[in-house]
A and B are shown apart, each in its own frame.
Chain A
Amino acid sequence: MCENCQKSDLSKLTPILEEFSGDKYALISILQKAQEIYGYLPTDVIYEIAEKTSVSPAKVMGVATFYTQFRLQPIGKNLIMLCKGTACHVNGADSIERALIEELGIEDGGTTEDGLFSLKTVACLGCCSLSPVMMINEDTYGSLTPEKAKEIVRNIRLESK
Chain B
Amino acid sequence: MKIIIGEGSCGIAAGARKVREALLNQRAQSEQKLVIGKTGCIGMCFLEPIVDLYTDEGQLLSRLVRVKESDAKRIYSAALDGDLSEVKDLVISKDDASFLEKQTRIALRHCGLIDPEDISAYIASDGYKALEKTIKSMTPEDVIETIKISGLAGRGGAGFPTWFKWNAARKAIGEVKYLICNADEGDPGAFMDRAVIESDPHALIEGMLIAAYAIGASKAFVYVRAEYPLAIVRLEKALAEARAKNLLGENILGSNFSCDIKIKAGAGAFVCGEETALIESLEGSRGMPRLKPPFPAEKGFTNAPSNINNVETFANVAWIILNGGEAFAAMGTETSKGTKVFALTGKVKRGGLVEIPMGLTLRDVIFDIGGGIRDGGTFKAVQMGGPSGGCIPEHLLDTQIDYKALASTGAIMGSGGMVVMDEKTCMVKMARFFLDFTAKESCGKCVPCRIGTKRMHELLVNITEGRGRPGDIELLLELSNGVKAGALCGLGQTAPNPVLTTVRYFKDEYEAHINKTCPAHECEALKKFSIDAQKCKGCTMCARQCPVSAIKGEVRAAHVIDQDKCIKCGACLALCKFGAVVSM
Interface residues of A (CB under 8 A from B): 24-29, 31-32, 55, 59, 62-63, 66-70, 84-91, 122-131, 133, 138, 140-142
Interfacial chain A residues near B189, Cβ < 8 Å: 85-87, 124, 128
Q: Which residues of chain A are near B159, meaning CB under 8 Å?
A: none
Inter-subunit contact B343/A25 (CB<8 Å):
no
Q: For residue B390, which residues in chain A have a CB less than 8 angstroms away from its CB?
A: none
Chain A nearest Cβ from B287, distance in angstroms: 7
Contact present for B185 and A129 (CB under 8 Å): no
Given contacts A67-B266, A90-B346, 8 further A-B contacts (CB under 8 A): A28-B281, A63-B286, A69-B267, A86-B386, A128-B351, A129-B48, A130-B13, A131-B345
Assess whether B264 is in contact with A128, with CB atoms less than 8 Å apart. no
Q: How far is the CB of B300 from chain A (nearest CB, A)?
A: 13
Q: Is B236 an interface residue (CB 8 A)?
A: no
Whether the Cβ atoms of B187 and A124 lie closer than 8 Å is yes
> Is there contact, CB below 8 Å, between A28 and B9?
no
Residues facing A in B228-257 (CB within 8 A) are 228-229
Residues of B within 8 A of A63 (CB): 284-286
Listed A/B pairs (29) with beta-carbon separation below 8 Å: A25-B283, A27-B284, A29-B265, A63-B286, A66-B286, A69-B226, A69-B266, A85-B188, A86-B345, A86-B419, A86-B433, A86-B434, A87-B345, A87-B346, A87-B351, A87-B419, A89-B188, A90-B419, A90-B425, A90-B430, A124-B188, A124-B191, A125-B9, A129-B10, A129-B345, A130-B14, A130-B45, A130-B48, A142-B14
Does B165 sit at the interface, judged by CB under 8 A? no
Which A residues are in CB contact (< 8 Å) with B378? none
- Closest chain B residue to A70 by CB distance? B267
Are A24 and B284 in contact (CB-based, < 8 A)? yes
A73 CB, min distance to chain B CBs, angstroms: 16
Which 7 residue pairs spanning A and B have beta carbons closest together? A129-B45, A85-B188, A140-B13, A27-B284, A67-B267, A68-B268, A124-B188
CB atoms of B265 and A141 under 8 A apart: no
B186–A124 CB distance below 8 A: yes
Q: How far is the CB of A120 from chain B (nearest CB, A)?
A: 10
Measured CA separation A32–B343 after assembly (Å): 29
Question: Complex formed: what's the CA distance from A130 to B187 in Å?
Answer: 16
Check: B209 CB closer than 8 A to any chain A CB.
Answer: no
Closest to A88 in B: B188
Contact A84 B284 (CB under 8 A): no
Q: How far does the Cβ of A72 sit from chain B's closest Cβ, in whole Å?
A: 13
Q: Report the nearest A residue to B187, measured CB to CB.
A: A124
In the complex, what's the smallest C-beta–C-beta distance from A35 to chain B, in angstroms?
9
- With contacts A66-B286, A129-B48, A138-B229 taken as known, whether A84 is within 8 angstroms of B188 at the C-beta atoms is yes
Q: Shortest Cβ distance from A41 into chain B, in angstroms?
A: 11
Chain B positions 374 through 408: 1 when the CB is less than 8 Å from some CB of chain A, otherwise 0? 00000000010010000000000000000000000
Determine the distance from Cα of A88 to Cα of B189 in the docked complex, in whole angstroms: 8
Cα distance A129–B348 when bound, in Å? 10
CA distance A158 to B352 in the complex (A): 35
List of B residues within 8 angstroms of A123 by Cβ: 186, 188, 270, 437, 441
B284 touches A127 (CB 8 A): no
Given the complex of chains A and B, what is the CA–CA distance between A127 and B195 in angstroms? Answer: 10
Asked if B315 is an interface residue, CB under 8 A from chain A, the answer is: no
Q: How far is the CA of A70 from the CA of B9 in the complex (A)?
A: 23
B-side interface mostly: mixed
The CA of A55 and the CA of B284, in the complex, are separated in Å by: 10
A55–B383 Cα distance when bound, in Å, is 43
Contact with A along B219-230 (1 / 0, CB 8 A): 000000111110
B535 vs chain A, min Cβ distance (A): 25
Using A25-B283, A90-B419 as known contacts, say yes or no to A31 and B267 having CB atoms under 8 A apart. yes
* B122 beta carbon closer than 8 Å to chain A: no
What's the Cα separation between A31 and B191 when bound, in Å? 26
Contact B188 A86 (CB under 8 A): yes
Q: Which residue of A lies closest to B417 (CB)?
A: A86
Q: Please measure, in the bound complex, the distance between the C-alpha atom of A133 and the C-alpha atom of B14, giving whole angstroms.
A: 10
How far, in angstroms, from A122 to B441 measured CA to CA in the complex?
Answer: 11
The verdict on B12 contacting chain A, using a C-beta distance below 8 Å, is yes
Closest residue of chain B to A24, judged by CB?
Answer: B284
B155 contacts which chain A residues (CB < 8 A)?
Answer: none
Q: State whether A127 touches B267 (Cβ < 8 A).
A: no
Q: Known interface pairs A28-B267, A67-B269, A87-B346. Does A129 touch B46 (Cβ–Cβ under 8 Å)? A: yes
In the assembled complex, the CB of B366 is this many whole angstroms from the nearest CB of chain A, namely 14
Q: Determine whether the beta carbon of B284 is less than 8 Å from that of A32.
A: no
A137 to chain B, nearest CB (A): 11
Which residues of B lie under 8 Å from residue A131 when comparing CB positions?
345
Query: Which B residues touch A29, using CB under 8 A?
Result: 264-265, 284
Check B433–A89 contact: CB distance below 8 A: yes
Chain A: CB-nearest residue to B383: A86
With a cutoff of 8 Å between Cβ atoms, the chain B residues found around residue A27 in the complex are: 284-285
CB neighbours of A55 from chain B (8 A): 284
CB distance from A123 to the nearest CB of B (A): 5
B14 CB → nearest A CB, Å:
6
CB distance from B110 to the nearest CB of A (A): 19
Across the interface, which residues of B come within 8 angstroms of A122, CB to CB?
A: 227, 268
Indicate which residue in B14, B228, B287, B302 contacts A66 across the interface (CB closer than 8 Å): B287
Q: Which residues of chain A come closer than 8 Å to B9, judged between CB atoms? A: 125-127, 140
Measured in the bound complex, the distance between the Cα atoms of B386 and A90 in whole Å is: 13
| Cβ of B194 under 8 Å from chain A | yes
Bound Cα distance from A85 to B10, whole angstroms: 15
The residue in chain A whose Cβ has the minimal distance to the Cβ of B288 is A66
Contact with A along B428-464 (1 / 0, CB 8 A): 0010011001000101000000000000000000000
B191–A127 touching, CB < 8 Å: yes
The verdict on B347 contacting chain A, using a C-beta distance below 8 Å, is: yes
What residue in chain B is nearest A55 (Cβ atoms)? B284
B143: chain A residues at CB < 8 Å are none
User: Is B191 touching A126 in the complex (CB atoms < 8 A)?
Assistant: yes
- Which residues on A sit within 8 Å (CB–CB) of B284? 24-29, 55, 63
Q: Does B302 lie within 8 Å of A25, measured CB to CB?
A: yes
By a CB distance below 8 angstroms, the chain A residues around B479 are none
CA distance A128 to B353 in the complex (A): 10
Q: Nearest Cβ in chain A — how far from B390, in angstroms?
A: 12
